[in-house]
């Protein structure tokens, strides 16, 4: 029950924060794109959280832990948090002041991409029981090299890039999208540091890198 209330509290705090950084700058609750985004964000989150609580509570606990110890990763986490806040504030202000407008067809396409990214994320969680939110080598951890991990080394980050680049378009803001384009750059820093940690502490990871050459996108990088 402690884990349940911890997860529920974290989700409620996320919803409250989203309301502050999205609807407050929009100046109104009548922000249709904002409500669409919140549904697409929190409903899958609730479903995945419930499944993890029932089927894999240890993994849920790992996902709730976000206290980084690596200095590089602490910097990435702080920068990412500031980036997200700036992007959501910009989306709200964009709606309020009418700076830009995303075509309706693209909004719904981005919504489909956001859901697909959640599906990809869920599959990564299913395949990798060691998927902590922090960069670390866990006790008895083994290299996962099957499924998506047999194609690219960091499918979780691929999922998050799709997810976070779709969000500003769902919100109907090109300004927010321009800000969020910095997110993949931050992920590159995170991956390079993470791979150093894994090479140093996870047996077999160097050989895995030789077998699976691509980090995020098959045949590209």
Domains along the chain?
2-211 (1.20.120.1630)
Across all residues in the chain, what is the average pLDDT?
A: 84
Predicted pLDDT of residue 103: 96
CA distances from 215 to 14, 32, 149, 190 (A): 30, 36, 9, 12
Predicted pLDDT of residue 90: 95
Give per-residue pLDDT as tens, 11-61.
Answer: 788 888 888 899 999 999 999 999 999 999 888 888 877 777 777 777 667
Give per-residue pLDDT as tens, 179-220.
Answer: 999 999 988 888 888 888 888 877 888 888 888 888 888 877
Residue 147 region by backbone torsions, left for phi larger than 0, else alpha for psi between -120 and 50, else beta: left
Predicted pLDDT of residue 169: 97
Residue 133 has pLDDT above 60, yes or no: no
H or E stretch at 159: helix 155-170
Predicted pLDDT of residue 136: 58
85 in Cβ contact with 20 (< 8 Å): no
């Amino acid at each position: 029950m402690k884990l349940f209330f911890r997860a529920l509290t974290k989700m409620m705090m996320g919803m409250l924060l989203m309301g502050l950084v999205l609807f407050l700058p929009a100046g109104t609750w009548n922000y249709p794109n904002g409500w669409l985004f919140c549904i697409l964000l929190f409903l899958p989150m609730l479903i995945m959280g419930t499944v993890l609580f029932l089927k894999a509570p240890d993994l849920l606990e790992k996902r709730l832990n976000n206290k980084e110890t690596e200095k590089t990763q602490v910097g990435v986490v702080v920068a990412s948090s500031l980036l997200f806040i700036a992007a959501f504030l910009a989306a709200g202000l964009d709606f309020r002041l009418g700076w830009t407008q995303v075509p309706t067809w693209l909004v719904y396409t981005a919504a489909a991409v956001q859901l697909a990214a959640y599906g990809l994320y869920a599959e990564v969680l299913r395949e990798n029981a060691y998927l902590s939110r922090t960069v670390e080598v866990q006790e008895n951890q083994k290299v996962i090299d099957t499924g998506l991990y047999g194609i690219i080394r960091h499918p979780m980050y691929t999922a998050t890039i799709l997810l976070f680049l779709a969000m500003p378009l769902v919100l109907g803001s090109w300004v927010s999208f321009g800000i969020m384009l910095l997110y993949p750059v931050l992920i590159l820093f995170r991956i390079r540091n993470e791979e150093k940690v894994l090479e140093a502490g996870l047996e077999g990871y160097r050989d895995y890198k030789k077998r699976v050459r691509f980090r995020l996108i098959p045949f590209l990088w």
